Amino acid sequence: MYEAYDPRSKLAPQAAATAGAVPAGFAAAEYVKFHDLPPGEQSALARTWYGRGQNMVVSYSECQPGAQFARSGQVDEYMLVLPEAGEGAVIEAGTERVEVPGFSLAIVPPGASRVTMRQQGLLIRVISTRNVDVAALASNAEAYGHQHPNIPPFQDWPAPPGGYRIRHYSLDVPAKPGRFGRIFRCTTMMINMLPFEPAPRDTAKLSPHHHDDFEQCSLAIQGAFTHHIRWPWTANQQHWRNDDHEHCPAPSIAVIPPPAIHTSAATRTDGNQLVDIFSPPRVDFSKQAGWVLNADEYPMPGPMPGA
């Protein structure tokens, strides 16, 4: 699955996708190329696009200072990313008011909240599909008119022992041998800010792998990526699907369904960056010591399989 140089080679191997219970069918991958579409919402200070997976919605906003994003009746925590350095944003929730600098990831508690941008640039919010008002804004909402196969019903992870509040973390995290990316989690999701790739990926060093029972949402925020996806063959030829080799320039998302084999390759010579999103958080990543940078604030469910 992974070469020895890849930190993910330490993960416990998964069974072959067709072993054991045979899937009753497979979902297609979802590709949302935001700049090929009109914004889902637009104001004088921001343009926002929405795309979704089974459990999460990605909101991608291009903002001017002063742009505001309010949530009323948010049913659970959500995450936001300010991927560029600068003055960042002000987040208000309950009695809290927190100034979050640029180049940060933040977690916003349930209930009413407001984000006010203090800088020009990108704001990425990831919100669970249990917030039906946001789910309805996704340009690919019709693709999720039913539960996709091979994904179990969504379950929250445990609440933080310190209670819900605004939390934020710098993305200025030095690389560490053996650690994969910069991973943060909350009760509803996990975000991995993958490193900037200055050049196209070496196609002799790809990493095809699969996930048995969860989607991966890969958000391109810079450059472009080709997503290579292959579905298993089962005895029922009606379930077979052709391979995908989908080229997705930023900004875009690719939602990769289980148990498809997949790998992604950066293609631009002037720089590429991908953000991987999982909802709920990944168990295998969470079991790796030191991988989840805010693990001390968000406990894992227990007992966990294979623990």
Within-domain flag for 18? no
Within-domain flag for 243? yes
For residues 188-217, average pLDDT: 97
pLDDT digits (tens, 9 = 90+) for 239-294: 999 999 999 999 999 999 999 999 999 999 999 999 999 999 999 999 999 999 99
pLDDT above 80 for 10: no
Within-domain flag for 10? no
pLDDT for 18: 42
Tally of domains in the chain: 1
Number of CB atoms found within 10 A of residue 175's CB: 8
pLDDT digits (tens, 9 = 90+) for 57-71: 999 999 999 999 999
For residues 211-217, average pLDDT: 97
pLDDT for 307: 44
List the structure tokens of 272.
């590429």
Residues 140, 147, 189: CA angle, nearest 5 degrees: 75
Q: What is the average pLDDT score of the chain?
A: 95
Least confident of 11-20, 101-110, 286-295: 11-20
Within-domain flag for 105? yes
Within-domain flag for 7? no
Percent of the chain with pLDDT over 90: 90
pLDDT for 113: 98
Within-domain flag for 93? yes
pTM comes to 0.94
Percent of the chain with pLDDT over 70: 95
pLDDT for 21: 64
pLDDT for 304: 54
pLDDT above 70 for 306: no
Range of the domain at 278: 23-286
Number of CB atoms found within 10 A of residue 215's CB: 23
Residues 33, 34, 38: CA angle, nearest 5 degrees: 125
For residues 167-177, average pLDDT: 97
For residues 73-87, average pLDDT: 98
pLDDT for 119: 98
The CATH number assigned to the domain holding 89 equals 2.60.120.10
pLDDT digits (tens, 9 = 90+) for 115-171: 999 999 999 999 999 999 999 999 999 999 999 999 999 999 999 999 999 999 999
Within-domain flag for 135? yes
